[in-house]
Structure 1
Amino acid sequence: MATRNPRRAVPPWPRLRVAEWEDTRETLHMWVQIVGKVRLAHAPLLNHWWQVTLYVSPRGLTTSAVPCAGEFFDIEFDFVDHVLRLRSSDGGLRTVPLESMPVAEFAARVSRALEELDLHTTIQDHPNEVEPAIPFSQDHRHHTYDPRAAHLFWRQLLQADRVMGAFRARFVGKASPVHFFWGAMDLACTRFSGRRAPRHAGGAPNCGDWVMVEGYSHELSSCGFWPGGGEEGAFYSYAYPEPPGYADRRVTPSDAFYSREHGQFLLPYEAVRTADDPDAALTGFLQSTYEAAADGAGWDRASLEADPERWG
Structure 2
Amino acid sequence: MELFPPMPYEGWLETKETMHRFAQIVGKVRLAASNRRNHWWNVPFHLTGRGLTTRPMGGLDGMPLFCIDFDLVRHRLVVDVLDGRSAEFGLAGQSVASFYTQLFEILHHFGINLEIRAVPFDLADPTPFADDTHHAHYDPVLVTRYWQVLSQVAQVLDRYAADFCGKTSPVHHFWHTFDIAVTRFTGRVVGAAQEVDPVTREAYSWEVISAGFWFGDQERPWPAFYSYTAPEPQGLAKEPLWPDGAAWLPSRGSHLAVLRYDDVRAAEEPVATVLGFLDSAYHAGATLTTCDERGLSSPHGVTDPFLMEP
TM-score by length of 1: 0.90
Deviation at 1:53, TM superposition (A): 0.7
Tell me how far apart the structure 2 counterparts of residues 292 and 159 of structure 1 sit (CA, whole Å).
25
Structure 2 residue corresponding to 1:239, chosen from 226, 229, 239: 229
Structure 2 residue corresponding to 1:259, chosen from 243, 246, 249: 249
Q: Deviations over 1:80-103 (max 9, x none)?
A: 111111111110111020113211
1:181 is the counterpart of 2:169: no
2:285 matched to which residue of 1? 293
Give identity over the alignment, percent.
36
1:272 matched to which residue of 2? 264
Structure 2 residue corresponding to 1:172, chosen from 156, 162, 165: 165
In structure 2, stretches of 5+ residues that fail to align are: none
Tell me how far apart the structure 2 counterparts of residues 238 and 252 of structure 1 sit (CA, whole Å).
14
1:146 matched to which residue of 2? 139
1:220 matched to which residue of 2? 208
2:40 matched to which residue of 1? 49
Deviation at 1:13, TM superposition (A): 1.3
Give 1:279's aligned amino acid: V
Q: Deviations over 1:213-261 (max 9, x none)?
A: 1111111011111112555411111111111221111111222111024
2:199 matched to which residue of 1? 211
Q: Identify the range of structure 1 (68-77 vs 81-90) with the bigger mean alpha-carbon deviation.
A: 68-77
2:240 matched to which residue of 1? 250
Q: Deviations over 1:105-126 (max 9, x none)?
A: 1000110111222222221111
2:14 matched to which residue of 1? 23
Deviation at 1:168, TM superposition (A): 0.8
Give 2:227's aligned amino acid: S
Q: Identify the range of structure 1 (149-158 vs 166-175) with the bigger mean alpha-carbon deviation.
A: 166-175
Provide closer, same or farther for how the CA distance between residues 27 and 254 of structure 1 changes in structure 2, counting only shifts above 3 A: same
- Counterparts in 2 of 1:293-312, with a 5 A limit? 293-307=285-299, 308-310=301-303
Q: Identify the range of structure 1 (60-69 vs 292-301) with the bigger mean alpha-carbon deviation.
A: 60-69
Tell me how far apart the structure 1 counterparts of residues 42 and 69 of structure 2 sit (CA, whole Å).
16
Deviation at 1:70, TM superposition (A): 6.1
Provide closer, same or farther for how the CA distance between residues 202 and 292 of structure 1 changes in structure 2, counting only shifts above 3 A: farther
In structure 1, stretches of 5+ residues that fail to align are: 1-9, 204-208
Tell me how far apart the structure 1 counterparts of residues 56 and 163 of structure 2 sit (CA, whole Å).
27
Provide closer, same or farther for how the CA distance between residues 202 and 181 of structure 1 changes in structure 2, counting only shifts above 3 A: farther
Provide closer, same or farther for how the CA distance between residues 189 and 97 of structure 1 changes in structure 2, counting only shifts above 3 A: same
Q: How many residues get paired?
A: 298
Structure 2 residue corresponding to 1:32, chosen from 23, 29, 34: 23
1:126 is the counterpart of 2:115: no
Deviation at 1:67, TM superposition (A): 2.5
**Matched-pair contact (CA < 8 Å) for 1:198–1:241:** no
Give 1:43's aligned amino acid: S
Q: Identify the range of structure 1 (165-174 vs 253-262) with the bigger mean alpha-carbon deviation.
A: 253-262
* 1:194 aligned counterpart, secondary structure: strand
Deviation at 1:303, TM superposition (A): 2.7
Structure 2 residue corresponding to 1:89, chosen from 82, 94, 97: 82
**Matched-pair contact (CA < 8 Å) for 1:36–1:54:** yes
1:66 is the counterpart of 2:47: no
**Matched-pair contact (CA < 8 Å) for 1:15–1:232:** no
**Matched-pair contact (CA < 8 Å) for 2:64–2:111:** no
Tell me how far apart the structure 1 counterparts of residues 51 and 17 of structure 2 sit (CA, whole Å).
17
**Matched-pair contact (CA < 8 Å) for 2:191–2:201:** no
1:282 is the counterpart of 2:274: yes
Give 2:226's aligned amino acid: Y
Tell me how far apart the structure 2 counterparts of residues 165 and 179 of structure 1 sit (CA, whole Å).
10
**Matched-pair contact (CA < 8 Å) for 2:45–2:52:** yes
**Matched-pair contact (CA < 8 Å) for 2:50–2:71:** yes
* 2:294 aligned counterpart, secondary structure: helix
**Matched-pair contact (CA < 8 Å) for 2:63–2:112:** no
**Matched-pair contact (CA < 8 Å) for 1:200–1:216:** no
Structure 2 residue corresponding to 1:75, chosen from 43, 68, 72: 68
Tell me how far apart the structure 2 counterparts of residues 192 and 155 of structure 1 sit (CA, whole Å).
28
* 1:53 aligned counterpart, secondary structure: coil
Give 2:115's aligned amino acid: T
Provide closer, same or farther for how the CA distance between residues 149 and 168 of structure 1 changes in structure 2, counting only shifts above 3 A: same
CA RMSD of aligned residues (A): 1.8
1:193 matched to which residue of 2? 186
